[in-house]
Structure 1
Amino acid sequence: MDIGSGAVTVMTADDCWARLTATSLGRIAVSAAGQIDIFPVNYVVDEHHTLLFRTAPGTKLLELAINDRVAFEVDDHDADAAWSIVVKGRAERVEKQGEIDRAEQLGLAPWIPTLKYRWVRIHADEITGRQFDRQPEPERF
């Protein structure tokens, strides 16, 4: 698909998962009681193509308890291209000790010095991504 003079490429699901695996910072969008919130989280992808992040008690966990439907977005760029991936699905607290132990082995650590003992897993119902070739803006006038 071409838009203007720059190319937009729709990414395959495999390409999206490969990019998600290679990065670690995203944003989770949650909605409860008519309010929408977006939070930055560092995350990891496990072998089952689910996203995992750690959190402390607070707004994210409360809103996820009310409504487990989420959107998760990751994007990045370099000198030649930019890309954006959106995962839509449902989030659940990881509560079984065996699953927590496996999650702990993935090496995810908070970016800030806070204790985050709660694990959340996002199951993807839909994953979409696009890559954008970075080129100069076309002549506008």
Structure 2
Amino acid sequence: MNSHTQHADNLTFDQCWELLEGDTVGRLALVVDGHPEIFPVNYVVHRRSIVFRSAGGSKLWGAEAARPAALEIDGYDPHTEEAWSVVARGDTDVIQDQADKDAVDALNLEPWQPGPKDSYIRLSAKALTGRRFQVTKPDVWNTRLSDRRRASFE
């Protein structure tokens, strides 16, 4: 293995859930009108599933309540110089049970975007993968000021 090869560690199922539980915003990937779309969503983890809210009657969860989706989160820790990524793939369904809605509300699932978000959508993960890897040290003089890796050198 040469010195430029980065080693990635696969995260366990439990580590993936811990990272999901510790975050609040992810990127939701769906196929809409035959092409892929990505939507930022704020979410909570409820009974080892991912729940977010959507506008009622939207084209996404109106007539077709169940649809395949993926949610991705990632992060970077400047202290350990490690990056990580988690992807959950599965099917979505609209939560109808009021007790489940109440439980989700108790987890402080409040949409960030204004407007009514009356549909509670559950993504049940059929596949959950994650990895953590050491980030290549940047050449500070040639790295963009906005690059998060700089924080560990300044």
Pairwise mapping of residues 23-34 of structure 1 onto structure 2 (< 5 A)? 23-34=23-34
- Structure 1, gaps ≥5 residues long: none
Aligned length: 136
Structure-2 separation of matches of 1:124 and 1:3:
36
Counterpart in 2 of 1:73? 72
Q: Give, in angstroms, the shift of residue 4 of structure 1.
A: 3.4
The C-alpha deviation readout for 1:78-122, integer Å capped at 9, x for no partner, is 211111111110100011222222221111111233221210001
Structure-2 separation of matches of 1:117 and 1:76:
29
- The structure-2 alpha-carbon separation of the partners of 1:30 and 1:51, relative to structure 1 and needing over 3 Å to count, comes to same
Counterpart in 2 of 1:117? 118
Counterpart in 1 of 2:88? 87
The C-alpha deviation readout for 1:1-29, integer Å capped at 9, x for no partner, is 99933221111111100000000110111
**Which portions of structure 1, spanning 4 or more consecutive aligned residues, are displaced by more than 4 angstroms?**
none
**Sequence identity (%):** 33
Structure-1 separation of matches of 2:64 and 2:85:
27
- The structure-2 alpha-carbon separation of the partners of 1:36 and 1:67, relative to structure 1 and needing over 3 Å to count, comes to farther
TM-score between both structures, scaled by the size of structure 2: 0.78
Q: 94-103 vs 68-77, which deviates more?
A: 94-103
Cα root mean square deviation, aligned: 2.4
Structure-2 separation of matches of 1:35 and 1:3:
39
TM-score between both structures, scaled by the size of structure 1: 0.85
Structure-2 separation of matches of 1:28 and 1:104:
20
